[in-house]
Amino acid sequence: MKIAILLLTAFAPLVDAKSWKAGMASVDISPAEPIYLNGYGARTHPSTGVKQRLWAKALALEDEKGKRVVIVTTDLLGMPGAVSDVIAARLAKQSGLRREQLMINSSHTHAAPMVEGNLGTMFDLNAAERLAIHNYTERLKDQMVDVVTKAIAELKPAHVALGHGKAGFAINRRVLAKTGAYVIGTNPQGPIDHDVPVLRITSLDGKLLGALFGYTCHNTTMGGDIYEAHGDYAGFAQQAFEKEHPGAMGMFFIQCAGDQNPNPRGKFEQAEQYGKELAAAASSVIAGKMQELNGPLRASLRMGELNFKLHTRETFEEELKDKLPAKVRRAQYMLALYDRRQPMRSTPYPVQAIRFGKQWTLVALGGEVVIDYQIRIKKEFAGEDITVAGYSNDVMCYIPSLRVLKEGGYEADSSMIYYGKPGPFAESVEESVMATVYKVLADVGRKRK
């Protein structure tokens, strides 16, 4: 009798694992025509070609009770909420997929086409350049709906397992200069997280179907002098993974990398090196012992509200005289809102949680989130495995912690110029984000330690 009980216990996780269904699909989202690449304001003309193909990839998962989630990764700088919402609405109509069941993450490569609604005040675009961006965005919406639909159609029994590795090329970029201001540089003493979470998908006979892996680092190995589309280290990581595992799909998601950069950077050889390092970390995890995940799947998405620091019309009237063109464009946009008696006082903020049984929770935060949020959420919800993604569902601007906001610098203030936001957030920003985090985690049954 004891032997029988031991055998049943040993095989219980595998029986549960067989109750999963998984489906994966991909679509090439590389630009078909010259288009402005996003991320670097120093660029002066549209793209000249494609250095590396860009992809949107979808992983559909279904538990034994038929509950689904779909995780989509994209080689884009950021997906605006307005675009994500259109995609989600179409999928709800076509596939019955509820909004909380769909997570869209952008790798934040700084060499992907501009998408309407993202960093709208960065460039002074002419009509033809705006039309190219509009056409790309409309095509992207169709492609995103198609790739999710295909992933759902591919749902088949599968095993789902989780593990963690390490990669070491990211560094905190916030440096206190002699002037007393925080600038972008390399700060080995700054907060960082080298964790590489890996979700492995295999068929029931053990064949590797694909893996979803993450890292906390800006995709900025290459600078704004490059006019060919590419996926930076994340693109190379997915390529290297798929080369090592023929027939399997590699999917990258970025975590809270708002103040993290590759180090050193500036050469394609470095981007390829970092990609191979990340792929090797994921492959090492897959080759080792991993935790089989159980259901049920639970998902929640809530919209918070983040307030900006108080501003007046006079602030932007004065800004019209500034020598920085992007600042003038921001001022014009803000004054137009004042004219309509709709000054921008806050921004909606999406927070999502997907929980796998009582083993792993994936939290997805909107915006360019700094590392402090990742560290805080992991600390406050220690015990059961938790991963925190940034750049998810809406990339509206940087999301500084209170520490970073008080210190100032690019992530706290000047980046808002290019995102078309009125200025820094109010000091309530961190607690407002966390209040919504607490709600979605409570929704999926996750409690603070």
Strand pairing report for 368-369 and 398-399: parallel
CA 114-273-71 angle, 5° bins: 50
Residues 6+ apart with CB under 8 A from 379: none
Q: CA–CA distance from 140 to each of 71, 152, 209, 235 (Å)?
A: 16, 18, 25, 18
Question: What is the enclosing helix (H) or strand (E) of 5?
Answer: helix 2-17
- Mean local confidence (pLDDT), 310-317: 97
CA-nearest of 152, 170, 386 to 270 is 170
- Whether 111 shows a pLDDT value over 50: the answer reads yes
Distance CA 121, CA 104 (A): 23
- Mean local confidence (pLDDT), 60-75: 98
Query: pLDDT, tens digit, for every residue of 229-273?
Result: 999 999 999 999 999 999 999 999 999 999 999 999 999 999 999
Task: Kindly provide the residue ranges of all beta strands, DSSP E only, lying in 177-230, ordered along the sequence.
Answer: 182-187, 195-203, 208-215, 228-229
- Mean local confidence (pLDDT), 6-33: 70
Distance CA 83, CA 305 (A): 19
- Mean local confidence (pLDDT), 354-369: 98
- Mean local confidence (pLDDT), 321-345: 97
Residues 6+ apart with CB under 8 A from 405: 412, 424, 425, 427, 429, 430
Band of residue 5 on the pLDDT scale cut at 50, 70, 90 = very low
Whether residue 126 contacts residue 51, with contact meaning beta carbons closer than 8 Å, is answered with: no
Instruction: Determine the pLDDT at residue 19.
Output: 87
Instruction: Determine the pLDDT at residue 10.
Output: 34
Residues 6+ apart with CB under 8 A from 353: 298, 299, 300, 301, 361, 362, 363, 364, 440, 441, 443, 444, 446
- Supply the DSSP string of 35-86, one letter for each residue: -PBSS-TT--S---EESS--EEEEEEEE-TT--EEEEEEESSS---HHHHHH
Task: Kindly provide the residue ranges of all beta strands, DSSP E only, lying in 308-405, ordered along the sequence.
Answer: 346-356, 360-365, 368-369, 385-389, 398-399
Query: pLDDT, tens digit, for every residue of 395-409?
Result: 999 999 999 999 999
Question: What is the enclosing helix (H) or strand (E) of 305?
Answer: strand 297-307
Single pTM value for the model = 0.95
Distance CA 39, CA 223 (A): 9
Instruction: Determine the pLDDT at residue 157.
Output: 98
- Whether 11 shows a pLDDT value over 50: the answer reads no
CA-nearest of 33, 117, 51 to 78 is 117
